[in-house]
Structure 1
Amino acid sequence: MKSSVIFLRVFLLSFIWLLFTSFFKSHHFKPISIEDNSEVLELNTDGLYYAEFYDYIFRGHFEELDVSRDDMQFLLIFGQYLRAYGGQCANSLPANKVEIMNQTCATEEVTTDGYGIEVSRICVEYVWVGSGLYAKPDLYDAKMEIEGKQRANGLGTMMKMITDPNSMGNSVDMAHKATGLKNDMSKIFKLNPCDSPGLKRFEENLKLFALNEPGIRMNEDSKYTTMKKSGGPTGNQNFGKLVDDLVYDQSQTWSFNRYTKGSISGVTTSSRDTQGRPMVLSANYNFSGFSGNSKGSVRITFKNGLPKCIYFYDFPQNCKTPNSSILSSYVEGKYAN
């Protein structure tokens, strides 16, 4: 039993690692000049899984980000953005565009037992092949700079993930985030035209963040910064509806189970802050999966009156980040009774 758990853990981590990293040759890039922001720009992030991240990058407010340029999560976002742009905005690419390359296995090493039954299969030689997608060269160079850092730290990062006592929960969470990002990339260019000034500013700051350079800052705070400073609303709120929306949003990234929307029940508040706002909410919900219809439970912790972490019963130590758009609606009073 223990060996099967270890195998599953390594398998999940290996799968996530392939999602987050690939190995590129070293490239050089030119310094980027920073200009003062004197124009009104907008980036529409409504309903996106990583809405808060996109908005902070767009505004050049890097200090507000929860991820660093060295995180695999950032590499995944950067890489998937380039691929999505190459696929959906090909006509907006410059003449000197560069092809995004994929690493594929050229030679496998197969091991068999004394009966000729295959017991393992590993790749011993990789080759690079064109993906058919193209990217802006300066953005691609910046991404490869990050991939070089990931390559240098790869073994240490993998071992840290494997030895983490909550590695299974974190691995599943990364898979959820990858699904959420995929959904974002199917929407972001519908919300923001490929050649829009806001998207161009987002790309410039995305590149600056990757290269560890100061962003082109906007003076106005992000609505997410303002929201966190002001905190959550007081008074009677429809917490059943709030929990239902938060869980349903999370369920969009589930791989197997399907949440039964509207099934939230038994909502309880175990503690409140000095303003009467909840600090911890608990509730039950229904879902369908391999075993048919089942019941689950969820616990939501609050910070300054706002949902901070969502914990599901199957991974009770793994914090899921609430959707920023839902939090914004909560602050605006859309859940008030």
Structure 2
Amino acid sequence: MTTTRLNLFFLWVLLHNCSLLTAQTTSSFELNTNDLFYAEVYDNIFRGHFEHVDIAPESSDFTSIFHLYLNTFGKQCPSYLPQDKVKIMKKVCAEERVESNAYGMELSRTCIRWEWVWTGLYAKPDLYAAKVDLENRMREKSLELLHDMIMDDNKMGNTVDMAHKAKGLALDMATFFTQNACNGKAVLRFEENMKRYALGQESIRIKEVSKYTLAKETGGPTGTQDFTKLLDDLIEDQAKTWMMNKYIGGSITNVKEHAKDANGKPLEISANYKYSGWGNGNGAVRVTFENGLPKCIYFADFPQNCKKPNATILATYAKGNYTE
């Protein structure tokens, strides 16, 4: 082989390998959020599309995500922490004041002295600093948040909703690092943008739109849909966060479509279902739609509380996978 041909051969190999490397980088540079409770939030933070993140930085939802993410990384990915890692601290009550009546019966218990203790976990210093900054800002709003809770006309429903969100987040973090590598580029980008979102800084944007955003923009499919299957999937997903009862899969009955929009897409459907646990085992659900996609799930026990449908199910529905 002549020198010229040899050089051309090596050039071809180099270009071929570069193209493969680019393809691998593109395919691996995706955050896997499938079936996660906060999938849409994670994906839009990862992409730097902060305008599509529907929870504010100074909200209990985002603060909880940031807090539990750092704790989970510290537990599941400790070998990927830097040399200058910092201790994750928590505030605990060091001294209580207990008030009792004349008979020695406890009437109240109040913490009068707090102290910070180490959780046994470490975090990346920049992320931990951002979390502390965020929590300090949240602390300044504590009286405002307390006032809102006191004045809330739907205290019970919203309290249950908070418990469901907490369980959904815990389930997310249980699988987040099995779906995504601790030191993967996607996780590193997610962390950087999560920090920037917390601090109100400009994001690092990825050009491609989230599949969840695209589904909303495209809207739901036309034609006859298998609402029984859709409701079964939506409720089964919601039931993962239930505290007491357990949904009986495949128990959807009495499905009704109450209204359609000008394009023939549903506006509202309802149905009955079965569950085991507390109560009589009979449940009712109502789902409202926007642009042909499920927007809110309302269960009969808390009819004012809009439960957000699973974003992965919505994206699947938008593709027409429930069309009969």
Q: Same fold (TM over 0.5)?
A: yes
Deviations 1:279-329 (A, max 9, x none): 0111111112234x5111111000000000001111101100000011111
State which structure, 1 or 2, has the greater radius of gyration over its C-alpha atoms.
2
Distance 1:280 1:238 in 2: 14
Q: Which amino acid is the alignment partner of residue 75 of structure 2? A: G
Distance 2:152 2:241 in 1: 23
Q: What residue is the counterpart of 2:259 in the other structure?
A: 271
Aligned pairs, number: 298
Q: What residue is the counterpart of 1:166 in the other structure?
A: 154
Q: CA deviation at 1:92?
A: 0.2
Deviations 1:262-283 (A, max 9, x none): 1111110111111111101111
| 2:212–2:312 CA contact under 8 A, matched in 1 | no
SS in 2 for 1:186: helix
SS in 1 for 2:141: helix
Q: What residue is the counterpart of 1:215 in the other structure?
A: 203
Q: Does 1:301 align with 2:288?
A: yes
Q: Which amino acid is the alignment partner of residue 273 of structure 2? A: Y
Decide which of 224, 229, 234 is 2:217's aligned counterpart: 229
TM-score when scaled to structure 1? 0.87
Distance 2:137 2:155 in 1: 22
Deviations 1:125-174 (A, max 9, x none): 11111101110000000011110111101011111012111222111111
Distance 1:230 1:332 in 2: 9
Alignment of structure 1 residues 180-219 onto 2, 5 Å? 180-219=168-207
Q: CA deviation at 1:208?
A: 0.5
Decide which of 65, 86, 96 is 1:108's aligned counterpart: 96
SS in 1 for 2:284: strand
TM-score when scaled to structure 2? 0.90
SS in 2 for 1:227: helix
Distance 1:138 1:216 in 2: 16
Decide which of 88, 108, 113 is 1:120's aligned counterpart: 108
Deviations 1:53-76 (A, max 9, x none): 000000000001111111111000
Distance 1:174 1:66 in 2: 16
Q: What residue is the counterpart of 2:320 in the other structure?
A: 333
Decide which of 268, 281, 289 is 2:269's aligned counterpart: 281
Q: CA deviation at 1:180?
A: 0.5
- Larger helix fraction of residues: 2
Q: Which amino acid is the alignment partner of residue 119 of structure 2? A: S
Q: Which amino acid is the alignment partner of residue 177 of structure 1? A: K
Q: What are structure 1's unaligned runs of at least 5 residues?
A: 1-38
Alignment of structure 1 residues 64-79 onto 2, 5 Å? 64-79=52-67
* Farther-moved stretch of structure 1 (226-235 vs 325-334): 325-334
Q: What residue is the counterpart of 2:305 in the other structure?
A: 318
Q: What are structure 2's unaligned runs of at least 5 residues?
A: 1-24
Q: CA deviation at 1:191?
A: 0.8
Distance 1:256 1:191 in 2: 28
Q: Does 1:97 align with 2:85?
A: yes
Q: CA deviation at 1:116?
A: 1.3
* Farther-moved stretch of structure 1 (90-99 vs 256-265): 256-265
Q: Which amino acid is the alignment partner of residue 140 of structure 1? A: Y
Distance 2:284 2:225 in 1: 20
Distance 1:88 1:245 in 2: 30
Q: CA deviation at 1:113?
A: 1.2
Q: Which amino acid is the alignment partner of residue 293 of structure 2? A: L
Q: Which amino acid is the alignment partner of residue 93 of structure 2? A: C
Q: Does 1:133 align with 2:126?
A: no
SS in 2 for 1:187: helix
Q: What residue is the counterpart of 2:226 in the other structure?
A: 238
After the TM superposition, list the runs of 4 or more consecutive aligned residues in structure 1 that deviate by more than 2 angstroms. Answer: none
Q: What residue is the counterpart of 2:237 in the other structure?
A: 249
SS in 2 for 1:299: strand
Distance 2:34 2:88 in 1: 28
Q: CA deviation at 1:223?
A: 0.8
Q: What residue is the counterpart of 1:143 in the other structure?
A: 131
SS in 1 for 2:91: strand
| 2:89–2:116 CA contact under 8 A, matched in 1 | yes
Q: Which amino acid is the alignment partner of residue 94 of structure 2? A: A
